[in-house]
Structure 1
Amino acid sequence: MRKKLVGAATVAIMATTFAGKASASSYEVKPGDSLWKIANQFKTSVSRLKEINKLNTDIIFPKQVLKIDATSTSNQSAAPAARPSSSSTGSSSGSSATYTVKSGDYLIKIANMHNTSVAQLKSLNGLSSDLIRVGQVLKVSGSASGSPAQNSPAPTPAPSSGSGNSGGTYKIVAGDTLSKVAARYGTTVNRLKQINGLRSDLIFAGQTLKVSGGTSPGSSQPPQQASPAPTKPQPVKQTGSGVIDTAKSLVGTKYAWGGSSPAGFDCSGFIHYVFKQSGKSISRTSAEGYYNRSYFINNPQPGDLVFFKNTYKSGISHLGIYIGGGQFVHAGSNGVEISNVNNSYWKSKFDSYKKFY
């Protein structure tokens, strides 16, 4: 939540004329802008914008006035560059290109690969949800599909080895979530929780889940079910691969003010989504709200929180997830990215490391 960014940018060019010639132009930053977006608009580069405006970071804010090269403004209304061909990842047929879904793919990832949007992919393929499956062929350019792609029969998942019942089992690997497993086996999160006796969305690497069939009275419960309910609030266990893997998988997702889904995140929305996907029940609030719901620590571990102050406003205004080695992943103005807490900008804004209560 480094800056308040909303909606699409509205171009406002103010040309300054000297001796009858436009020697320079300026641009007033609008909500939703980033240096990358402005550079593309004026056919220049981020490094050039930073150079002529003497910027040390990529941070900009609404109503800030930036200098633009005079030669850049002449192309401001030019058509955007053509999208890259998908021939390296799919096959072309006529005027449209296709992509075959692979293990670990999701719509936002495929959209970023082909320089398009989730909405466009869903429109092209007649999708009514974000659910896709391995082996599914998606159109990534061309005209909209006449029939929904998801109507084709779902493949029958191969039973995992060592299955202990006729219904089939699945062994959790790092990065899995209940929603991901449910999508893979064509079921729902509620159904998985029901047949496995789960009381929360928390799962862990190495855990074996039943993925079909009824509940078995004699089946053993996952380890977390054997623990007695705590009598008072306990600190959320944030460390481990679940939070980090989920956070890293979203790198490249665009910034959206108030966003809390893979369609776009702000800094607090990113935190809420990642921890929810990792089985941690936290409410959606602001950076300040999360600051007040966490306690200070001296030795941060991967999965802990890192807070910053005085970015786009005074006081606590931004946060991310510490991933080790002085790095953290967060939703910044350029989207979800990995930054170093010791670089000149973030070091000057650093407040503290904390952990959720």
Structure 2
Amino acid sequence: MLKRFAPLVPLALVTLLFGCAAHTPVAQQEQQQQVKNSVTAQSSIRYQDSLFQEEVATEKELAAFADGKSYQLPVLADSILERGMSLIGTRYRFGGTSEAGFDCSGFIGYLFREEAGMNLPRSSREMINIDAPLVSRNKLEPGDLLFFATNGRRGRVSHAGIYLGDNQFIHSSSRKSGGVRIDSLGDSYWSKTFIEAKRALAMAPNASPIVTARK
């Protein structure tokens, strides 16, 4: 069953950092627990229907990956996000790819490898170039990868996260901000540094294909 995550309390102060991180810590442990406790079940049919509402270009890309079929992704997205939520508070470690500590791309790679059997590129700069459908910001679905330019170089990716739903995303931010945490795309900092999103789960080898009904 697909799960959604309730919005966090708006974040206040933003500090620009270099590398695979970018925010000052503002969320308290109680806020993170509130997010965990606010997960509610949603129908996988709702997610499937949203795929049919994608822009034409995205529909064609998704169909190409599925040999003319549409992928049913809720189970994979749910598994990835649940595992990610269980890791909230895990420390940030540059070059980290395990539960001993993650950097941003290491966190994403770990979840997709463990829960979806996917080996994504190691760095965010390589990850943004994966051959997966681009998704517009207003068409995001849980499990989509988000890319940001946080190092002051406009358009050059330096950070990445995974979309949760309800304008929230999970990522391994920085040492100062507490490692794995949840933030809002509505926050002015993340909104300004957002570059693009990709539906990497369309490439999942074990995604269950479903045949689209023909009229």
TM range (shorter): 0.5 to 0.7
Q: Deviations over 1:209-265 (max 9, x none)?
A: xxxxxxxxxxxxxxxxxxxxxxx8549865431011011111100001110101000
Aligned to 2:170: 329
- 2:32 aligns with none
CA contact (8 A) 2:163 2:169 kept: yes
Q: What is the RMSD computed on CA atoms of the aligned residues? A: 2.5
Return the offset for 1:59: 4.2
Identity among equivalent positions (%) equals 35
Q: Structure 1 residues 323, 260: closer, same or farther in 2, change over 3 A?
A: same
SS of residue in 2 equivalent to 1:319: strand
**Rounded Cα–Cα distance in structure 2 between residues aligned with 1:242 and 1:278:** 6
Spell out structure 1 runs of 4+ moving beyond 3 A.
58-62, 232-240
Residue 313 of structure 1: CA displacement? 5.3
In the aligned structure 2, how far is the partner of 1:261 from the partner of 1:295?
27
| SS across alignment from 1:320 | strand
Who is 1:277 aligned against? 114
**CA shift for structure 1 position 312:** 2.0
CA deviation profile, 1:30-63 (whole Å, cap 9, x unmatched): xxxxxxxxxxxxxxxxxxxxxxxxx94244459x
Selected match of 1:296 from 134, 143, 148:
134
2:161 to 313, 320, 345: 320
Change (3 A) 1:236 1:344: same
The partner residue of 1:338 within 161, 164, 182 is 182
1:338 is displaced (CA, Å) by 0.1
* 1:269 and 1:284 in contact (8 A); partners too: no
Q: What is the alpha-carbon distance in structure 2 between the residues aligned to residue 272 and residue 236 of structure 1?
A: 21
2:104–2:160 CA contact under 8 A, matched in 1: yes
The CA deviation at 1:304 is 1.0
Unaligned runs of 5+ in 1: 1-54, 63-231
Higher alpha-carbon Rg: 1
2:124 aligned residue: 287
Question: What SS class does the counterpart of residue 183 from structure 2 fall into?
Answer: strand
1:236–1:280 Cα contact (<8 Å) kept? no
Unpaired runs of 5+ in structure 2?
Answer: 1-11, 20-63, 204-215
Separation (CA, whole Å) in 2 of partners of 1:296 and 1:61: 25
CA distance in 2, matches of 1:278, 1:312: 30
The structure where helix makes up a greater share of residues is: 2
CA distance in 2 between partners of 1:263 and 1:59 (Å): 25
Higher relative contact order (Cα pairs below 8 Å, separated by 6+ residues)? 2
Which residue among 255, 259, 264 is the counterpart of 2:101?
Answer: 264
Would the alpha carbon gap of residues 237 and 258 (structure 1) be closer, same or farther in structure 2, given more than 3 Å must change? farther
Match of 1:306 among 119, 123, 146: 146
SS of the aligned residue for 1:273 comes to helix
CA deviations 1:126-173 (Å, max 9, x no partner) are xxxxxxxxxxxxxxxxxxxxxxxxxxxxxxxxxxxxxxxxxxxxxxxx
Q: Are 1:348 and 2:195 counterparts?
A: no
Establish whether residue 57 from structure 1 lines up as the match of residue 10 from structure 2.
no
Counterpart residue number, 1:42: none
Alignment partner, residue 58 of structure 2: none
Could you tell me how far apart the structure 1 residues matched to 2:161 and 2:133 are? 15
Q: TM-score, normalised by structure 2?
A: 0.56
TM-score (norm 1): 0.34
